[in-house]
Amino acid sequence: MAESGFTPVKTYPLFRNLSLSAGDSGTSDVQDLRYSAQQGNFALAHSVAAGTAGTAGTTIFTYVGCSTFDGTYITPSGAVAIGTAGTAQAADIKAFDPEPMPFMKIIATQSGSGTAGKDSKITAELIVQ
């Protein structure tokens, strides 16, 4: 049982070896933040590995939110990209400061165009306190 005033850190799995080609994107399941984002601390732990194309492309992470679980998810007007993972960066944890929202989805977008092979395998977790 948590001590009074203690806010534990919660980890939400988002993607597990998600294969993306150039120009593709993947969207996580809905993350319910109503009881876990008490302190407003957010971070994204991610890794980008080479896919079947033999290289790892550049991946951009963003977020969308909604006031209801099954509503229309939108990008907040003040939102900025969580971060970018390039070919030389295998893994990282990036803090970000989203607007308050009860429900969130994370989007991983592979830069470039075309679909010549799966360029990246994405694994990511949302860390919230």
99 within some domain: yes
90 within some domain: yes
CA distances from 75 to 61, 81, 104, 106 (A): 12, 10, 10, 11
38 within some domain: yes
- What per-residue confidence (pLDDT) applies to 120? 83
- What per-residue confidence (pLDDT) applies to 89? 62
pLDDT for 21-74, tens place per residue?
Answer: 888 899 999 999 998 878 889 999 999 887 776 666 788 999 999 999 999 999
Report DSSP letters for 82-118, one per residue: -EEE-TT--EEEEEE-PPP-SEEEEEEEE-SSS-SSE
Q: CATH no. for residue 22? A: 2.60.120
- What per-residue confidence (pLDDT) applies to 20? 86
- The structure tokens listed for 68 are 């209801």
Of 9-18, 43-52, 86-95, give the range with the top mean pLDDT.
9-18
Query: Are residues 44 and 93 in contact, defined by beta-carbon separation less than 8 angstroms?
Result: yes
**Percentage of residues of the chain with pLDDT beyond 70:** 82
97 within some domain: yes
43 within some domain: yes
Question: Residue 3: pLDDT above 80?
Answer: no
Q: Which of 56-65, 100-109, 120-129 has the lowest mean pLDDT?
A: 56-65
CA distances from 47 to 36, 77, 113 (A): 23, 27, 21
Domain span including residue 59: 16-128
Query: Are residues 124 and 49 in contact, defined by beta-carbon separation less than 8 angstroms?
Result: no
pTM: 0.86
10 within some domain: no
- What per-residue confidence (pLDDT) applies to 91? 86
Number of residues assigned to the chain: 129
124 within some domain: yes
Query: Are residues 121 and 50 in contact, defined by beta-carbon separation less than 8 angstroms?
Result: yes
Question: Residue 94: pLDDT above 90?
Answer: yes
Q: Residue 98, Cβ neighbours under 10 Å: how many?
A: 19
